[in-house]
Structure 1
Amino acid sequence: MEIGTLITGIVIGSILGAIIGFIAVKNMRSNSENKVNHTEAELKALLAIQARQHLDISRQALTDIQNKTAALATHLNEYEESLAQATMTAADSKDSFFGEHASVFLRNSLKANKNDLALAQPDTQPRDFANSGSGVFVGVAAKAPKENKSEGQ
């Protein structure tokens, strides 16, 4: 009977071990599934919070842009009105820049000096640092008489 008892003990022990192992594995799976479900719930909550923050920031940026656009529109309207008023007042204003007497004097002296200015224009170009005509004012190099400095000494 010793062998029968031994075999019976092994069979009963293996059955009990299988049952206990099955319960342990099932318990571990349920714990890991709970952890996964808990992690997914935390992740969804975090994503929802981030989405709300993003929407709040976007709404704030949109209202800031709208406020700045409205301010810009008012500034443009004010500037346009000031330009319209400036052109109206410039056309209506008969005040001269220099005053009444100075304007008459400048007008008369300018008419008298036009003839003098025409006579004062030389036929040659002004000298540059090299003491020759630069050609800047006409577009062609000036033909200045060449002086030989060695002959004069």
Structure 2
Amino acid sequence: PAMAPKGNNMIPNGHFHKDWQRFVKTWFNQPARKIRRKQNRIKKARAIAPRPAAGALRPIVRCPTVRYHTKVRAGRGFTLQELKAAGINNKFAKTVGIAVDYRRRNRSVESVLLNAQRLKEYKSKLILFPIHNKKKLRAGEATEDERKVRQLVFS
């Protein structure tokens, strides 16, 4: 129930019949806003390329309770167990766009295997740009040719 008004005041009971057209808010700008949002999304994706426009990689999780547990959705972050199964260090994961949630617990082997496979697939497609161009390439960093190919794809 709504709370009663405080104080000995008149209960509001508006009679807005005359000149109501002044207060109508139209939505004729809705299609233009849609276009502007789309253009901004594209601009953002171009600015952060070759990073994924959708943000960090998220795990596949099941919704809680009997009503929704048949549905799967994107979770908050991968568990340390899933990262270990995929052979990825949790500190390294955060630097290459993988979301990590150390509070989440795995309740089934299937979910660990599914998300570990997801991580392995992501890692196989990952192209690491070297931190220092002049120095010798470190393990996992892309060569000059691999980077050129990637640059052509996104330009």
| Same fold per superposition (TM over 0.5) | no
Based on CA coordinates, which of the two structures has the bigger radius of gyration? 1
Greater share of residues in helix: 1
User: Normalization by structure 2: what TM-score?
Assistant: 0.20
